Amino acid sequence: MGQSAFGWLDDLTRLYTPTATEFDAARRHRGAIESRLDAYLGLREMFEIGSLRHGTGVWQYSDADFLASLKGIQPDSPWTMLNRVKETLQNRFTSTEVVIRRPAVVCRFSDGHVEVVPAYPDMSGFWIANPADGWMKTYPRDHNQYVTEINKRHSGGAKRLARQLKVWKYLRNVPVSSCYLEMRSAKHLDGESGYSPIWDLYLALNKMHEAGLASMNDPTGLGSRFGACSSESNRQDAMSKFGTAVSRAQKAKDFHSDGNDEKAIEQLKLLFNK
């Protein structure tokens, strides 16, 4: 008897799940980054955010992410903030490539990458650079709680689905925000009574494709809308890849429903470029 489609998808998900110590080397740079930012720009707090913290990181692709809440007056343009942070960190880590990748400043250390998302506090949230343009409001602790609650309700399904979508994004080079995929995954399962891996992979992809990768409202009702892509050209590229992905995920779902797991796995392999 051959492998089931569920089994193949589960193996893929485990393969791309980082180990507990995978990013310890990158995280060890945290103290030096905190000290530098505090000394030159003023730092209120810095804490870990992102997919590794949430349990949706992807092996070989995800970075260690931190939000750095800065002191002082918020400038008119987020580019001013990003350039200040980049210059400050580059002058400290002179042999390391430091680049801006909105909304973050990325330090590409030899033993791991660290993404620093500079921010200014406002009430219980933070203003960060919008990947598309201008400022956006984010509530990382509330967003994490939202995803975690739905994940518990579906016995880990929300985070597994988010990781699978991110694996697809990286293996197929889809220019779509990882945060967008994670929040869309949780929002999708928030409206479902149960979780079925093959079906929900198809449904989540199809919902985003049918919506045209439109920005989504913050499901917590707190922050700014979540954008999918950083430019219209990227959105068009992503839409084309989503269209192909929906077709393959639907075929995998249909073959699986008909009891033909061999054909279902063939479509999953095409979907994930495996």
- Give me the pLDDT at residue 52, please: 66
- 104-109 and 135-138 strand pairing: unpaired
Domain 24-138, CATH 3.30.460.10 — does that match?
yes
Q: Which residues lie below 8 Å from residue 40, measured CB to CB, with a gap of 6+? A: 88
Is residue 41's pLDDT more than 90?
A: yes
Residue given tokens 């530098």 in the structure block: 36
Measured CA angle at 228 (ends 140, 178), to 5 deg: 55
> What is the rounded distance in angstroms from the CA atom of residue 179 to the CA atom of residue 249?
21
Q: Which residues lie below 8 Å from residue 77, measured CB to CB, with a gap of 6+? A: none
> What is the rounded distance in angstroms from the CA atom of residue 104 to the CA atom of residue 119?
10
DSSP for residue 273: T
pLDDT of 220-269, one tens digit each?
888 778 888 888 999 999 999 999 999 999 999 999 999 999 999 999 99
- Give me the pLDDT at residue 54, please: 67
Is residue 37's pLDDT more than 90?
A: yes
Q: Could you tell me if 183 and 226 are in contact, meaning their C-beta atoms sit under 8 angstroms apart? A: yes
Q: Which of 45-59, 67-81, 138-152, 156-170 has the lowest mean pLDDT?
A: 45-59
Domain ranges of the chain: 5-16+142-271, 24-138
Question: Can you tell me whether residue 184 is helix, strand or coil?
Answer: helix
Q: Which of 103, 99, 128, 126 is nearest to 113 (CA)?
A: 99
Percent composition of the chain: helix, strand, coil (DSSP 3-state, to 5): 50, 15, 30
pLDDT of 198-227, one tens digit each?
999 999 999 999 999 998 888 888 877 888
Is residue 73's pLDDT more than 60?
A: yes
Half-sphere exposure of 137 (CA within 13 A, CB side): 13
DSSP for residue 197: H
- Give me the pLDDT at residue 204, please: 97
- Give me the pLDDT at residue 53, please: 64
Q: Could you tell me if 114 and 33 are in contact, meaning their C-beta atoms sit under 8 angstroms apart? A: yes
Gyration radius from the chain CA atoms: 19
